Structure 1
Amino acid sequence: MKLKPNLLAGAALSAIMALSGTVAAEAKTKLKLSHYLPTVHGIHTDFILPWTEEVTACTGGEVEFEIFPAGTQLGNVARQQEQVMAGVVDIAHGLTGIPRGRFPRTSLIDMPFLSDSSAAATYALWSMLPNELAEEYKGLKVLALHAHNPGVIHTASKKVEKMEDLDGLRIRTPSPAVSEMLSFLGASPQGLPPGEVYENLQRGVLDGTVFPWDPVKSFGLNEVLQYHLEAGVYTVSFFFVMNERSFNRLSPEAQACIDKYSGDALVPKFGDWWNKWDVPGRQEAIDAGHEITTLSEEERNRWREALQPMMQNYLEEVKAAGVDNAEEIYKTMQAKVAEYEASH
C-alpha cells in the first residue's frame, strides 16, 4: 500500500524527531564524582552537591553527575587519586597525604605552625599551583586545592594539656607531616581512614585522633571522645581534581561551565565554609559536657622548639624523595601565608 504524500512527510518528520531525541540523549554526559566524607558533612552539602547542581544547570543538562561519597564502592579515601588518574571516576576530592607520597610538594602545607586558618593555607596552595606545585598534577585538571582550619587533638579518656600528656598515646594521623609531628611530641601515630576512627576509639585501639572540629560531628566521634585540646599547630590539605581526558571530551560549552564554578570562583569560599563547619562539632562537645582546653602560649612555644628538628628532618625526607627544592617550596608557603594574613 502506498502512503499518501502528507502521511509520508509526517512519517519522515517523526523519524527525524526520534533521531534528534536519540542524538540529544546520547549527547548527555554523566560524570562520576567521588569523595570520602559522609553526606551530612559540609564538604558534601555546601560544596560538592551545590557545585554539581550549578554545573548541570549551566550546561542545560548536558552534564550530569553521579556522586560516590563515604561508604560507597568508590568512596575510599586511599583510592581517590588513583581512581581519578585511571578514569575510574571523572572527578575526585581527597586528602593529599593519603596514601603517602602522592603529593609531597602540596603536603608541605601540613607542616606544624605554618598557618593559622583554612583561608590562609588555601590561598597559599592555590597561588602556588601554577609554578611550585604543578608537577604533581600532570594528567589532571585541578578544580581546587584547599586546607582545613587548624586541627584539634581529641582524646577518649586522657586529658592532654602539655607535651608529656601525649607520651605513648595512640593517635590517628591524617598525613606524613602530622605523623612525624606526633612522634616528636611523644605520641604513637596510627594511620587510619577517617571512617574507621569511631570503631577504633570505641574498641580502645586508639586513644585519640587529630581532626578539625567538623568531622568530629559528621563521623559521630563526640560519642567516643571526652577531651579536646585546641592546639592549632597543623592543617591538612585536599585536592579537587578532574581527569584531563574526561574534561577534554566535554563540549567547549560544558568545559566553560566547569571553569566558571571552579578555581578562582571556588577556592576563596573554603575559609568561610570551614569556620561554619567547625561550629556544630564544637558545640556538640560542649553540650555533651566534654572538656575543651586551649594550648597555652608557654606550652605552644615548647612545642615549637621541640618540633624544629622534626621540621628539618621532614624537609630532608621530601628532598630525598625527589623534591630537590623542598625548602624553597616551604619558604614560599610561609611567605604566601604571611601575605594573606597581612591583607586580611
Structure 2
Amino acid sequence: MFAKSGIGIAGAVILGAQLAGTAAAADTVTLKAGTFLPSVDRIWYPHIRTWIKRANEAGAAHGLQVKMVAAGFKAMNPFQMGNAVKSGVLDLVHLSGTFYNKLLPIADAQKMSTVPVQQQRTNGTFALLRPLHAEKMNVHYLGRWGDGVNFHFYLTKPIQGASLKGFKIRGTSVYQSFIEALGGVMITTPPSQAYAGLERGVFDGLGWPLWGIHAWGWQKVLKYRVEPGFFTAEVSVLVNLDTWKKLTPAQQKVLNDVQIRLENEFGTKREETNKSQRALQARDGVKAIVLEGAERKKFLETATRAGWADVMKKDPVNGPKIRKLTELK
C-alpha cells in the first residue's frame, strides 16, 4: 500500500511521526503570561524566567506550556494587566497588588504582611484571599513571592527627619497613605515614565523596593535612599479562573509546584541580594540617609499606622481579617 502511494514504508514512518508530533503540539495548552516587570531587569525578572522555564520543563509531559507575551510597560500598561487576566486576554500574570487593587481593594494589604508566605498558606490567609480573587477578578490566586524585601524612598534632595513636607514623590497606591502622612504629595506615573519625571524635576523622588532601580536607570538621577525600609514587596501570581478550571489536575499541579518552589527558594538569598543592592547603589552615588532614634521610630510607626488605615478604608470588612492573619504580634 505504501509503495503504491509513492511514500514507501520509511516515508510512512516519518510521516506518521510528524503527524503524531503535530497532534501533540495541537493538544498542548499554551498560557499567555504577563508581568509589570521588564525582561531587562536583572534582579526581579530572573525569578519569573526561572518560574516559566520550570513550568515548561515539568509541563512538557502534561501538554502545558507558558509563554511570556507582555513583560513591562512596552508590551502592556501594568495597570491594565488586572483586567487582562480577568477577561482572559492574559492567562497568567506575575503582578503586584497595587496594579489591580481597583478590582480588588484588599490586594494592597499584602504590602503590610510580616507573616511569611509559607505560613499564609496554612493559617487561613490563602483561604481568605482565593475566594475574593475568584469573585472580584475571575482569577485563581496561585500564590505570591517577593516578601521580605522592603520599600524605600529614593530622593534627588535630602530630607530632614521623618518628613516629606515639600516633596513630590512618584508612587502608586502602595505608598500614597504613607507619603501623605509624612506631608508629601504623591504623583502617579508608570515606572517607565519615572526617569523623565525625575530628570525634569516633576517630582523629587520615588518609592521602590531595595532591589532593581538599575533596571530603569534611576541611579543616574537619584542621589539618596532613605533608611529604614518599610512595608514589603509582593508579586502575586494569578491565573484566569476559566483557564484554571480547564487545566487537568496534573497541569494545575505543575503550576502549584513551581510556585511553591519559588516561594521556598526566594528567601534563601534575600539577605545576600539586599547587601549587594546597597553596595551597587553606593557605588553609583546613591547615598543612604539613615534615620535614627525618635525620627526612625516616628517613620516606622507612621508607615504602619497609615498603611493599615488605608487597608481598612478600602475594605472595612476584610481588612481586619487579613490584618489578624498577616501581622506578627
Answer whether TM exceeds 0.5 for this pair.
yes
Q: Percent identity?
A: 20
- Structure 1 residue 243, shift from structure 2 partner: 1.4
User: Separation in 2 of the partners of 1:273 and 1:80?
Assistant: 29
Asked if the contact 1:29/1:63 (under 8 Å) is kept, the reply is yes
Query: Deviation digits for residues 154-200 of structure 1, max 9, x if unmatched?
Result: 101x2124123x10201122325x20111011111122222221121
Change (3 A) 1:101 1:78: same
Other-structure match for 1:73: 75
- Structure 1 residue 104, shift from structure 2 partner: 2.7
Other-structure match for 2:165: 167
Other-structure match for 1:341: none
SS in 1 for 2:30: strand
Letter in 2 for 1:132: L
Other-structure match for 2:84: 83
Other-structure match for 1:50: 50
- Structure 1 residue 8, shift from structure 2 partner: 8.9
Segment of structure 1 superposing worse, 8-17 or 53-62: 8-17
2:254 is aligned, of 254, 257, 267, to: 257
- Give the number of aligned pairs: 320
Letter in 2 for 1:24: A
Change (3 A) 1:329 1:204: same
Change (3 A) 1:307 1:251: closer
Q: Report matched runs for 1:92-103 at 5 Å.
A: 92-103=93-104
Asked if the contact 2:143/2:238 (under 8 Å) is kept, the reply is yes
Other-structure match for 2:25: 25
- Structure 1 residue 6, shift from structure 2 partner: 9.9
- Structure 1 residue 66, shift from structure 2 partner: 2.2
Other-structure match for 1:293: 289
Letter in 1 for 2:194: V
SS in 2 for 1:108: helix
Change (3 A) 1:192 1:269: farther
Query: Deviation digits for residues 242-282 of structure 1, max 9, x if unmatched?
Result: 1122233334433332222123x332223335444444432
Change (3 A) 1:305 1:244: closer
SS in 2 for 1:92: strand
Change (3 A) 1:318 1:58: same
- Alignment of 1:238 with 2:231, yes or no, is no
Report the TM-score, using the length of structure 2 for normalisation: 0.84
User: Separation in 2 of the partners of 1:81 and 1:203?
Assistant: 30
Other-structure match for 2:317: 324
Query: Deviation digits for residues 279-338 of structure 1, max 9, x if unmatched?
Result: 44322221123321222132122235556764564354124xxx414223213221xx35
Other-structure match for 1:110: 111
Letter in 2 for 1:140: V
Gaps of 5+ in 2: none
Asked if the contact 1:106/1:237 (under 8 Å) is kept, the reply is no
User: Separation in 2 of the partners of 1:332 and 1:249?
Assistant: 31
Q: Report matched runs for 1:111-126 at 5 Å.
A: 111=112, 115=114, 120-123=115-118, 125-126=120-121
Asked if the contact 2:195/2:217 (under 8 Å) is kept, the reply is yes
User: Separation in 2 of the partners of 1:70 and 1:20?
Assistant: 37
